[in-house]
Amino acid sequence: MAWEKLKHAFAVGPRSDQPLSEVQERIVDRLCQKIRERKMVPAAAAFLELSRPLNYIGAQGMHFLEPFATALFSAEEYREFALFLERRDAIDILQDRLNPDLSGKTESDSLGSDKTSTQPAGEDSSP
């Protein structure tokens, strides 16, 4: 009986089927743009992966600090970003938006074909 109650205590749900709100889309796009401008995509990707287990707790901390942070940021955008981080797939969404930069592709390239070369750059396929 006790096992049934504790069986899923630490289960993490699957990716959310709900689409991002328009405000969340705008915030995520702006965040990714700032990361690209500073040429920090690899560092951001590493940070996102390392902080994956803490993104929900971080979002809760943002809600706690909201009264102080809204003195510096728009209350709506700050709240929406905290709600975005509560999603279990928030890190995946950010990485998906930054991933084309990691591979050197543009967004238009990633929308085209799914063909990717497994051969390292600079190597010729001939023997």
- Which tens digits make up the pLDDT trace of 66-99? 988 888 788 888 889 999 988 988 998 999 888 7
| Residue pair 35/74 in contact by the 8 Å Cβ criterion | no
Q: Provide the whole-model pTM.
A: 0.61
Structure tokens at 123: 């190597």
- Enumerate the domain spans of the chain: 21-100
3-state secondary structure of 57: helix
How do residues 27-78 score in pLDDT, each as one tens digit? 999 999 999 999 999 999 999 889 888 888 888 998 899 988 888 788 888 8
Q: Taking a C-beta distance cutoff of 8 angstroms, is the pair 32, 94 a contact?
A: yes
What's the confidence (pLDDT) of residue 44? 92
Judge whether 58 and 85 are in contact, CB under 8 Å: yes
Say if residue 24's pLDDT is above 60: yes
